[in-house]
Chains A and B, each alone.
Chain A
Amino acid sequence: EIVLTQSPGTLSLSPGERATLSCRASQSVSSNYLAWYQQKPGQAPRLLIYGASSRATGIPDRFSGSGSGTDFTLTISRLEPEDFAVYYCQQYGRSPFTFGPGTKVDVK
């Protein structure tokens, strides 16, 4: 089983600032099958990024993903008020399809 670790656990930032979230895998993620999801309170997760760097349909270009192998990053270039949420990474290339513990981005 691939274990995903996310850091930091909480990121306190102000609107307009840049957010950098990290996801590290216990072993190489095949073909960069790494996704990022955003979840707001009381809502289902929403797919943001797949294939480590491809934005899902309708996702603003302030969201970008990068990385390969075992180290991946989600960057939000300028935080909008609606971006304050919890972000999860997931590897979907090898069953079981594991999720990270999440990073909460909250208002400083």
Chain B
Amino acid sequence: QITLKESGPTLVKPTQTLTLTCTFSGFSLSSIGVGVGWIRQPPGKALEWLAVIYWDDDKRYSPSLKSRLTITKDTSKNQVVLTMTNMDPVDTANYYCAHSTATYDQFDIVVAVVATLFDSWGQGTLVTVSS
């Protein structure tokens, strides 16, 4: 059974850096085809994908937030960490981490991800940005 849980501060001040941790069980982030992503949702609004990290340490970021985001993994601890710099009140949202199943093509030793499905989600954590 796959489970994920987000942790981190519930309140951050404008201009501060947010660090969120996703702790998971039921899968290994060293297995081919596996990834963990982050998605956020401002209260009452739609979902917004932020970033994903894959088993081979490849990473993808939302272009609109790329300069502010860093995603890393610690496979031994079953954790993925997302940092977001220069927080603003518009970044107030529920932040979710999710297990992803990647579809990939393999050419000899080269692996290319062609799709990333977010199939199991954590419960989310509400982060408020306010002074």
Contacts and interface: CB of A to CB of B under 8 A. Distances in A.
Contacts of A45: 47, 96, 121
Interface residues of B, number: 24
Contacts of B47: 37, 45, 88, 90, 99, 102
B118 A92 contact: yes
B46 A102 contact: yes
A42 B11 CA distance: 19
For chain A, what secondary structure do more than half of its interface residues adopt (helix, strand, loop), or is it mixed?
loop
Contacts of A97: 37, 49, 52, 116, 118
A33 B120 CA distance: 17
B117 A101 contact: no
B43 to A, nearest CB: 11
A98 interface: yes
Interface in B73-131: 96, 103, 114-124
B57 interface: no
B114 A47 contact: no
B115 A47 contact: no
Contacts of B48: 99
Given A1-B63, A92-B115, A98 B123 contact: no
Contacts of B64: 96
A91 to B, nearest CB: 9
B60 interface: yes
A47 B99 CA distance: 11
Interface string B32-53: 0000010100000011110010
Interface of A: 1, 30-31, 33, 35, 37, 43-47, 50, 56, 88, 90, 92-93, 95-102
Interface of B: 37, 39, 46-49, 52, 60, 62-64, 96, 103, 114-124
7 contacts: A30-B114, A92-B118, A96-B49, A97-B49, A97-B118, A99-B39, A99-B48
